[in-house]
Amino acid sequence: MQDSHTPSFARRLLLVTAYLGFISLGLPDTLIGVAWPSVRDFFGKQQSDIGWIFFGAGASYFVSGLLTGKLLKSFGIGLLLGVSSLLVAASALGYSAAPVWTLFAACSLLHGLGSGAIDAGLNHYVASHFSARHMNWLHACYGIGATLGPLIMTSMLVSLGSWRAGYAAVGSLLLLLTGLFIYTRKLWDTRGETTDAPSEPEAAVSMRDAVKHGGVWAHIGLFFIYTGLEVTVGQWSFTVMTEARGMSKESAGMWVTIYWASIATGRVVFGFIIERLGIDRLLRLSMLAAVAGTALFAANLPFSAAALALSGLGLASIYPCLMTRTPQRLGKARAAHAIGFQVSAAMVGAAVFPSACGWLAQSRGLEAVALTTVAMAAGLLVIHEGLLRFDRKW
């Protein structure tokens, strides 16, 4: 089965560029965690001031993802990717050169605007033109970028003693990717299908029409809960294990690392078997594994920490598989808006659920957070099963 009707070289070039694009999404996202102590000392800020960076990037990311459908219709994906990548590169270079805190924090707006459009635009393109295998590998590439970012920043801090050099290095890499996006901008707008038979062109769908579709809202709910669950488990499991269960920081840190590694590894492995197993079947099995993993962790048995690996494997394929199913279920014209909504909902979920669990931990105790993740995983399964039941009606 061919992934596209575009010529083989062009198809491969676009796929490699998409992979690089998702690596570029991960690269700047994790820099601030390593750079913050140095940045904070330089500008004389408080620990809490890092919230301005997260708020600025998150808010602009949300807006960008929400409007991606309209932007794709107006400018085409090739130009949108090029401009968006330039915005992310400008944000990294801006961080590296900002003389005052206000300008440094303002660069987060450029970061979010560019990243949101790249995320939604590439997800829409790969879901429409390539197989579920490549969608899984695409999201595995984000993990590569998220791993490389801290390594680059750490190396610059150790060798040059400069956090600015770390941002400058990443900004330079992003400029190279911007050039690649611009070079390939006409190829991106070449239509290709995931089957050998050409499909009939679909009528344009407005944003207002898209939000009237029940399937769009079901997908929004799934992405909202999924991303909240992934981030909540990743952010809170360390605290649960060390403060509520008495585990050493070294052991807890190892299990949290295994959790994130399980997600990245799972996406690579599932990419090889998804076409044989089927997307909906893999989604069902994955969600069942997520329920089992979170339940075992919440049970606080002698080896409950190992359940984080099962949770990670269960969560691994959900995001990329749901992205792949979006144009198949909703149609490509409607998916241009829906994928932007999904990316925005994911960003909101990643902020809302971990924050709410902070209040829950304070009022009900840390073990209540573990129980909440079980409810979230079960909610994912219930919504998805309902979506499968109503697929024919939509």
68-87 pLDDT tens trace: 777 877 778 888 888 999 99
Of 40, 43, 138, 24, the closest CA to residue 81 belongs to 24
Greater confidence (93 vs 193) lies with: 93
8-188 with 207-390: one CATH topology? yes
- CB-neighbour burial class of residue 259 (10 A; exposed 0-12, middle 13-18, buried 19+): buried
Q: Give the separation between CA 297 and CA 295, rounded to whole angstroms.
A: 5
Question: Does residue 309 carry a pLDDT above 50?
Answer: yes
Assign 286 a pLDDT band (cuts: 50, 70, 90): very high
Q: What is the pLDDT of residue 2?
A: 43
Of 216, 224, 229, the closest CA to residue 387 belongs to 216
Average pLDDT over residues 52-56: 81
Q: Which CATH code is given to the segment(s) 8-188?
A: 1.20.1250.20
To 10 degrees, what angle do helices 101-129 and 31-43 make? 170
Q: Give the separation between CA 294 and CA 160, rounded to whole angstroms.
A: 43
Q: What is the pLDDT of residues 257-275, one digit of tens each?
A: 788 888 888 988 998 888 8
The C-alpha angle with vertex 21 and arms to 109 and 171, in degrees rounded to 5, equals 55
To 10 degrees, what angle do helices 31-43 and 163-183 make? 130
* Contact present, 297 and 304 (Cβ < 8 Å): yes
Say which residues have a Cβ less than 8 Å from residue 58's Cβ, sequence separation at least 6: 112, 347, 351
Q: Which CATH superfamily is domain 207-390 in?
A: MFS general substrate transporter like domains (1.20.1250.20)
Chain position carrying tokens 């069902």: 284
* Contact present, 216 and 338 (Cβ < 8 Å): yes
Please state, in angstroms and as integers, the Cα–Cα distance from residue 88 to each residue in 18, 73, 153, following that order. 16, 22, 17
The rounded mean pLDDT for the chain is 83
Q: What is the pLDDT of residue 211?
A: 60
Q: What is the pLDDT of residues 339-389, one digit of tens each?
A: 888 888 888 887 788 878 878 888 888 899 999 999 999 999 999 999 888
Q: What is the pLDDT of residue 102?
A: 96
* Contact present, 202 and 331 (Cβ < 8 Å): yes
| Cβ count near 263 (within 10 Å) | 25
Q: Give the separation between CA 115 and CA 336, rounded to whole angstroms.
A: 16
Q: What is the pLDDT of residue 299?
A: 94
Q: What is the pLDDT of residue 328?
A: 79
Q: Which of 241-255, 313-327, 330-344 bottoms out in mean pLDDT, i.e. has the lowest?
A: 330-344
Domain boundaries, the chain: 8-188, 207-390
Cα atoms in the Cβ-side hemisphere of radius 13 Å centred on 141? 21
Q: What is the pLDDT of residue 304?
A: 87
Q: What is the pLDDT of residues 196-228, one digit of tens each?
A: 334 444 555 666 666 656 678 888 999 999 988
Chain position carrying tokens 């198949």: 328
